[in-house]
């Protein structure tokens, strides 16, 4: 069912000023043209548009002696880049870029470069044409194909590596948004045959989007390597061109992810592993990014889902291949369901930003907002400033006032604190001569309200889903406007205004904090825009709590909206931004890297969760028994190796590791020592799972360790005293907090 176009989609700054509908992909063709693909129901149409790529110049002089064709247009305004230079084709632009780099001595990424070069031709076309993807197209109309591979791991190794001759693809599971499914079996095809049949299916099914979970960092890398080994071309492009990839990096919150970025002509590639990473930035509730764990978290797993231990995949291929094929098929089904849950927001973003659908997933929010400025300034032929240089922006107010267990905790926060301050105080980029930022932020706040109202009244599930994704996207954009002020690469950034916003935010939160204290409340923790606190003793019941917040809200400036965001029977406050909450529904919510560290063994994380639940539900006296139960389980070897092993990825070659340890530049490490002792060669990128052996709690792990694959449940040899000591150490670390109650 198609979703009608809401009135706010006519906003040219937000949704582009060319309203051509149903465009699903753009590709550079021949250097001087861009091919547009459009979906008309089941039919795929395409056409070619003239493409004159561009760069921006601060001064025309550096290009005067360039021997090549170009057209120069002077832009109005005070920005540094005052000249728009158009070239007849992409190779001509690349020659001009190389020339400018030589004569100016500045690369395109230099902070003071006198020219602005954008290296993505599709991005350039969308900036100048005002076109975007998917207008008037429902998400359900996209043809989405899911892909998952299973591979064989050579005996003696724990994890597969495509470079090993003995490793190979054993199954390729496929599904698509129409409900079609197929599993290609390694018993029916040799590896080269599997790759050829996969390519045939992709060409025949003709998807607009190829999806997979961790598809960039595993499936496609593996397929590419094995195809090269067999001389098979992965001709997946709509023009018959092969899959192509290059090394890239992506930052999500504080994490930098190195990966190989792949592209297919006329199609998009979306990795649900990355979608889950983006999702968890704001909620911080996923225990892992493993597909099975995420599917269980969102209740996407079916009752008859087939599970196989990762280290038994090769065994199942040899002995029970039918089970392995069912397992692979369930993987793509869960990937499809996860994509349907997390992709719609990015589908909406592709309607807004001048980037491909694939790239809106891979670009940061500040970068995407910068592109809105660039598109509108280019449309009005207005000069664009250089990014401002400045000092780091002072952060928000975060503090902890109580460490221990509190009961009857409320959480209140200021809705969109920083955007509200920006609008209320006029904290916008001074160099935004066209006033794009304030107008767009006001529109977005109004549009989000409209989208939420339309979603509530929509009858069709497709319409509700689209409008829900739309309002969620508007919320993300609204909250990203502040971050853009301090974005080092933003052409309209403004560090002074960013600091003004955070200073005002700290003042407001301090005012709220002081009011609560004067009212008799007990603050627990504060984090930028919200406060956890125990209300005054006389405030009992939902009505009284809401009245307290309403009274507090009336003391705040106009435009600042305070809401009661949550009620929690109990809270364990450990450190700033590290706490556990017991929800009214009995669910345990754990926040913070200190309480959710993936660097400790699984049994310790399991103990922490059980311990926190006991304390928060008023059963602190059972913690000692919990400790004793875990100790008995360790002594009786009732824990599986997966609960006490560690897994590490080898970053250095073994030769580099040897050189560093001999030179005192790094400590000895168990994973590398095991790799050195192994009979088979390990390479950078290989994963090593290991556990501690020996006797006594103070053994050196690199001297007493074994590969997890060597652990024998019939003759367990893990160091019980070592692991018991780690549990006691963990308990002692938390004991002061566990025993301190408000």
pLDDT value at 214 more than 80: yes
Q: How far is Cα of residue 143 from the mean position of the Cα atoms in its chain?
A: 23
| Whole-number Å distance between alpha carbons of 11 and 699 | 66
Q: Give the confidence band of 1 by pLDDT, cuts at 50, 70, 90.
A: very low
Enter the tokens of residue 11: 């906003």
Model pLDDT, residue 313: 93
- The tens digit of pLDDT for each residue in 345-373 reads 999 999 999 999 999 999 999 999 999 99
Tokens 């089970």 belong to 323
Indicate the helix (H) or strand (E) that contains 588.
strand 588-591
Please tell me the pTM assigned to this model.
Answer: 0.87
The pLDDT of residue 592 is 84
Does the pLDDT of residue 709 top 90, yes or no? no
Distance CA 722, CA 6 (A): 63
Label residue 64 left, alpha or beta by phi (over 0 means left) and psi (-120 to 50 means alpha). Answer: alpha
Residue scoring higher pLDDT (293 or 201): 201
Length of the chain: 742
What would the mean pLDDT of 461-487 be, rounded to a whole number? 86
Query: Where does residue 69 rank: exposed (0-12), middle (13-18), buried (19+ CB within 10 A)?
Result: exposed
Q: What pLDDT is stored for residue 2 in this prediction?
A: 45
Residue ranges of domains in the chain, CATH in brackets:
7-131 (3.30.342), 139-348 (3.30.420.10), 398-428+494-591 (3.90.1600.10), 602-738 (1.10.132.60)
Q: What is the pLDDT of residue 191?
A: 96
- Per-residue confidence (pLDDT) for residue 595, from 0 to 100: 85
pLDDT at position 727, please? 94
580 falls in which pLDDT band (50, 70, 90)? very high
Q: What is the CA radius of gyration of the chain?
A: 28
CA pair distance 547, 570, nearest whole angstrom: 21
CB 473 within 8 A of CB 345: yes
What value does the mean pLDDT take over residues 89-107?
A: 95
Distance separating alpha carbons of residues 273 and 335, to the nearest angstrom:
9
Name the residue among 408, 410, 415 with its Cα closest to residue 563.
415
Q: Kindly indicate the confidence band of residue 460, based on its pLDDT and cuts at 50, 70 and 90.
A: confident
Going by C-alpha positions, the residue among 727, 673, 725 that lies closest to residue 704 is 673
Among the listed residues 245, 241, 269, 270, the one whose alpha carbon sits nearest the alpha carbon of residue 259: 245
pLDDT at 4: 54
Contact, 152 vs 168, CB < 8 A? yes
CB 450 within 8 A of CB 8: yes
Q: What rounded mean pLDDT belongs to the chain?
A: 92
Give the C-alpha separation, 259 to 279, whole Å.
19
What is the average pLDDT across 142-149? Answer: 97
- Residue pair 540/592 in contact by the 8 Å Cβ criterion: no
Q: Which residue is it, tokens 């170009």?
A: 70
Residue 555's CB: how many other CB atoms inside 10 A? 11
Query: Tokens at residue 179, please?
Result: 């409900």
Residue 465's pLDDT band (cuts 50, 70, 90)? confident
Q: What angle do CA 198, 200, 206 make, to 5 degrees?
A: 100
Distance CA 133, CA 297 (A): 31
Q: What is the pLDDT of residue 682?
A: 78
Q: Could you report the per-residue pLDDT of 419-435, keeping only the tens digit for each?
A: 999 999 999 999 999 99
Distance CA 286, CA 4 (A): 35
SS3 for 345-359 is HHHHHHHHCCCCHHH
- What is d(CA 106, CA 43) in angstroms, rounded to the nearest whole number? 47
Strand-strand pairing, 181-185 and 115-116: unpaired
Gap between the Cα atoms of 402 and 405, Å rounded: 9
Q: Give mean pLDDT, residues 203-230.
A: 96
Q: What is residue 165's predicted lDDT score, i.e. its pLDDT? A: 86
Contact status, residue 577 vs residue 528, Cβ threshold 8 Å: no
Q: Measured between alpha carbons, how far is 428 from 273 in angstroms, rounded to an integer?
A: 35
Q: CB of 474 within 8 A of CB of 365?
A: no
Q: Shortest CA distance to 410 belongs to which of 288, 535, 305, 509? A: 535
DSSP track, 507-533: HHHHHHHHHHHHTT-EEEEEETTEEEE
Write out pLDDT tens, residues 321-346.
999 999 999 999 999 999 999 999 99
458 — pLDDT class (breaks 50, 70, 90): confident
- pLDDT tens-digit map of 34-61: 999 999 888 999 999 999 999 999 999 9
pLDDT value for 279: 87
The whole-angstrom separation of Cα 469 and Cα 234 is 34
Lowest mean pLDDT among 6-20, 67-81, 205-219, 537-551: 6-20
pLDDT digit string (tens) for 669-686?
Answer: 999 999 998 866 777 777
pLDDT of residue 321: 96
> Which residues have C-beta within 8 Å of that of residue 146, sequence separation ≥ 6?
173, 174, 175, 176, 211, 212, 332, 333, 335, 336, 339
With 0-12 / 13-18 / 19 or more C-beta atoms within 10 angstroms meaning exposed / middle / buried, residue 36 is buried
Backbone angles phi, psi at 686, to 5 degrees: -70, 145
Assess whether pLDDT exceeds 90 at residue 390.
no
Taking CA 39 as the corner, what is the angle to CA 38 and CA 42, rounded to the nearest 5 degrees?
A: 150
Cα 116 from Cα 489, distance rounded (Å):
12
Q: Which residue has the tokens 């590969």?
A: 707
pLDDT at residue 122 is higher than 90: yes
Tokens of 83: 């000249």
Structure confidence at residue 251 as a pLDDT band (50, 70, 90): confident
Element (H, E) at 645: none
Whether 467 has a pLDDT exceeding 90, the answer reads no
């Amino acid at each position: 069912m198609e979703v009608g176009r809401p009135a706010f989609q006519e906003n040219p700054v937000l949704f582009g000023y060319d309203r051509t509908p149903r465009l699903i992909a753009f590709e550079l063709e021949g250097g001087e043209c861009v091919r547009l693909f459009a979906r008309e129901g089941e039919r795929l149409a395409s056409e070619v548009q003239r493409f004159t790529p561009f760069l921006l110049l601060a001064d025309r002089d550096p290009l005067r002696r360039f021997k090549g064709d170009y057209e120069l247009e002077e832009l109005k305004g005070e920005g540094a880049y005052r000249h728009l230079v158009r070239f007849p084709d992409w190779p001509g632009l690349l020659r001009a870029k190389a020339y400018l780099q030589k004569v100016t001595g500045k690369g395109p990424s230099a902070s003071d470069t006198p020219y602005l070069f954008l290296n993505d031709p599709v991005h350039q076309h969308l900036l100048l044409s005002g076109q975007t993807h998917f207008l008037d197209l429902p998400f359900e109309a996209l043809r989405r194909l899911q892909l998952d591979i299973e591979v064989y791991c050579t005996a003696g190794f724990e994890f597969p590596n495509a470079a090993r001759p003995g490793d190979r693809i054993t199954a390729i599971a496929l599904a698509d948004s129409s409900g079609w499914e197929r599993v290609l079996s390694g018993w029916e095809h040799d590896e080269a045959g599997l790759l050829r049949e996969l390519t045939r299916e992709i060409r025949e099914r003709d998807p607009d989007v190829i999806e997979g979970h961790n598809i960039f960092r595993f499936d496609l890398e593996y397929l590419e390597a094995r195809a090269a080994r067999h001389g098979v071309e992965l001709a997946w492009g709509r023009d018959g061109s092969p899959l192509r990839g290059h090394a890239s990096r992506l930052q999500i919150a504080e994490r930098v992810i190195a990966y190989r970025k792949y592209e297919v002509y006329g199609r998009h590639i979306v990795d649900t592993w990355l979608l889950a990473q983006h999702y968890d930035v704001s909620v911080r509730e996923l225990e892992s990014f493993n597909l099975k764990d995420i599917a269980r978290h969102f209740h996407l797993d079916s009752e008859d889902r087939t599970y196989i231990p990762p280290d038994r995949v090769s065994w199942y291929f040899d002995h029970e291949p039918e089970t392995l094929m069912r397992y692979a098929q369930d993987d793509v089904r869960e990937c499809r369901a996860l994509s349907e849950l997390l992709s719609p927001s990015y589908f909406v973003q592709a309607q807004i930003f001048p980037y491909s659908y694939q790239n809106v997933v891979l670009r940061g929010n500040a970068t995407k907002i910068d592109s809105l400025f660039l598109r509108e300034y280019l449309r009005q032929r207005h000069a664009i400033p250089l990014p401002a240089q400045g000092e780091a922006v002072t952060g928000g107010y975060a503090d902890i006032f109580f460490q221990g267990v509190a009961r009857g905790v409320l959480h209140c926060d200021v809705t969109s604190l920083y955007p509200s301050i920006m609008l209320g105080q006029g904290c916008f980029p001074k160099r935004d001569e066209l006033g794009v930022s304030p107008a767009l932020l006001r529109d977005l706040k109004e549009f989000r309200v409209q989208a939420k109202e339309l979603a509530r009244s929509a009858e069709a599930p497709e319409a509700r889903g689209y409008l829900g994704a739309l309002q969620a996207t508007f919320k993300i954009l609204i909250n990203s406007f502040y971050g853009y002020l301090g974005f080092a690469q933003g052409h309209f950034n403004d560090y002074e205004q960013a600091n003004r916003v955070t200073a005002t935010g700290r003042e407001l939160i301090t005012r709220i904090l002081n009011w609560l204290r004067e009212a008799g409340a007990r603050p627990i923790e504060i984090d930028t825009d919200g406060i956890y606190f125990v209300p005054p003793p006389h405030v009992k019941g939902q009505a009284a709590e809401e009245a307290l917040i309403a009274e507090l809200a009336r003391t705040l400036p106009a435009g600042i909206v305070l809401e009661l965001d949550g009620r929690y029977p109990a809270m364990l406050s450990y450190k700033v931004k590290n706490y556990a909450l017991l929800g009214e529904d009995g669910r345990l919510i754990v926040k913070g890297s200190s309480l959710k560290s993936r660097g400790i063994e699984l049994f310790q994380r399991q103990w922490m969760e059980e311990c926190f639940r006991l304390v928060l539900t008023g059963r602190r006296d059972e913690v000692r028994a919990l400790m004793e139960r875990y100790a008995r389980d360790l002594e009786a070897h009732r824990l599986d190796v997966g609960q006490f092993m560690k897994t590490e990825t080898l970053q250095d070659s073994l030769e580099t590791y040897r050189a560093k340890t001999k030179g005192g530049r790094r400590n000895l490490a168990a994973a590398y020592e095991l790799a050195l002792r192994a009979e088979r060669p390990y390479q950078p990128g290989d994963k090593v799972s290991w556990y501690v052996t020996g006797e006594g709690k103070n053994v050196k792990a690199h001297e007493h360790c074994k590969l997890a694959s060597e652990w024998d449940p019939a003759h367990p040899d893990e160091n019980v005293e070592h692991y018991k000591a780690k549990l006691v150490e963990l308990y002692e670390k938390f004991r002061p907090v566990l025993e301190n109650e408000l």
